[in-house]
Structure 1
Amino acid sequence: MNIIQLLNCFYREDVVTDLMANLINTEKKFANWFVEHVCQVSGSYRVVNAHTRVGLGKGIGTPDLIIELKNDSAAEKILVIENKLGALEGYEQTNRYASDQGKEKLFKALKISPVPIEFFFLTLDPFTLPKNTQFHKRDYQHFVDMKWDTLIQDPTAVLVMKDFSSYLKSFYAPILNVDLKDQIEKATTGLDSLQRKLLWIQVFQQSQFPESLKMHFGEVEGYGRNSAVFLFQKEEWKQNEFNGKELQANSINIHFEVTVNLVGSSPGKVSSFSVHYEPNPYKSKKTYEGIPGYEKYTMLRSKRTKAFHQSVLNSDFSNEVSLRNGSNSILFVPLNDHTTFEGLIEELLQKMKNIEPYIDFMLQIK
């Protein structure tokens, strides 16, 4: 049996981080490979030291892995690695670590003078970017199909890493090899919720959506719960987005929202999409209800929604949709039950194309 499977530790960030840290500290060739090929940091360093659970205090947090690169006794560069194996980035997590205060506390915790720092976001997910742009995106595809006995001397560690690579290969295979002509049920059966989310990202990225429609993706209630959410919107459909303090009349984030069930009786299926009109798709109504500007926002939104609904009722597709008057959704669009991704995407694209000019018309109302 695969050691990683036996221990049920594939998604255990603490276990995998400890594995990386211990190998870096005991296997020099692995340490150099990790720095050069995973982190892609150039330069020659005689000593590579890894630390885990270096607490930076309240308000900053605890980065998963810290690596000191040395030639003499003093560190010449620090690598800060946030390791994600399923969970999403914590609230402002990368921003906190990369802040001036975070850097200052890191130097103090390591008891070193300030040196250059590079930040890395190492994840199973090859698609999702960190919020802070100082972080470089890396993923675990670097660990697939490696000859670990050329980098690691300890035979037990070689066995563990071979099994880790094997597990990673089986994790990525259905995601990276999916084709639009594949049957949806067959492609998504047997996958866990993270794999299903990543597979759908791959499917949507392969699809020929209009260049004007940009895709954003997120997750509802975190990994392993509920649904993955995909937003498709034109650049001009996002204006004066709500920042948490005040609303403007034209604070809008209008988008097509596609939800993929990750768990439940029909996991990995898409049966509908909606048109949403809201100030910020990642903030609930209770965060902006009643704040300065709310009344002007609701008045313009109501006026626009009414005009949008009337124009949709007069359209050729009025019998294919349902009007909505929620705090976010203004139109519900059911989709047929398709066998292949290709059939589903074709219908999705056509219906979005039908609705798009009605959204543009609505936004002309001031």
Structure 2
Amino acid sequence: MARAAAWAFPVSSVETAPLPLSGGRVLAQTVRATRACPPFDQSAMDGYAVAAGAGLTRGMRLRVTGRIAAGQEGTAVTTDTAARIFTGAPLPHGADAVVMQEHVERLGDAVVLARSIEPGEHVRRRGEDVPAGRILGSPGLRLDARHVALFAAQDIDSVVVRRRIRVAILSTGDELCDAGDISLGGPSIPDTNRPMLAALLTRAGVEVVDGGQVRDDPDTIAEALVALSWTCDLVVTTGGASVGEEDHAARSLIVAGGEGETLKLGLKPGKPAVVGRVGGAAYLGLPGNPVSALVSWSLLGRSILARLEGRPFARPRGFAVPLAGPFTRKPGRTEFLPAKLVLGGDEPALAIVGSTSARLMPLAEADGFAELPETFASGAPGRRVAFHPFESFLTP
């Protein structure tokens, strides 16, 4: 992954995005808290604000002198008075605790404590969530709904982010056609890789450029690479990444005036891949089989995209889940297999549902990928292997 990412250079241009539309964007500046959150001591419960001092004992009677809802201010309380208060409302002057409404008996304009009360009970202190000056986000952070909420609490309405990365997707292959254009009885097959990758990249907040389809010819592919490379940050091709007579990815890159290398990964599916640069763009040549393309993109493509966006990327490790049934295979390469979580036992188990790089139905039925290390030859039920949920393995 590091060798693939090394061919890309971070995009430096930035823009300002409205906070509600910043999800999925990559932060380009440090964001600090300009005010404490909560901005004042406030009630964490519906109840009564009191001045507990050294402690209030069960059975004490306190006169209720006010009512404070969220967004309101109340008058001060003393050691023998209380104020009706609601969650989120500011504590009145003199108050240092809140008695839950379940722990008092209301008698007219007074309450009687049903338990002893100590200072600090059910109070959210000013700045206990976020103190003023704390760093909330650093450059390279991919924003999501959590960060949007955190920034909004600071009265931030826009953020400076890197501009969207532009990625072109180009399919190669004489046999391909767009879905809906296939000729009945002909040798064509629908192109699955281009729409699959476009869906992934769109979800990642990337600006996708549809490079279309080109035939298996180095000069034709090279011409398309040149045209796309000057308007995009990354050009991705699918098909022709191996070293056969009809595999033209590496050759086309050179014909286009680019440079690169062929990676022979100890990976199944997805062993062959071509990485490099052409024009002003990074280049990634993926295998043609759809599962191979998906796995290769998830490992290589996401590392390149992270580099372009100026954010860190680490190889996904998954988490250990026991196999639901026995599984055998030929060892030698790290393998990613579609797998489904099986529930109902003491803990979830993993059922492998597919073992070839060209089948799409197992992929659609699976919950993620099981990763088998290169030394794995056979495993009995209960043997733990790494599991990568699609939610994490396919998104940046």
Q: TM-score by structure 2 length?
A: 0.27
TM-score normalised over the length of structure 1: 0.28
Higher helix share goes to which structure? 1
By relative contact order (CA 8 Å, sep 6+), the higher-ranking structure is 2
Task: Identify the structure with the greater strand proportion.
Answer: 2
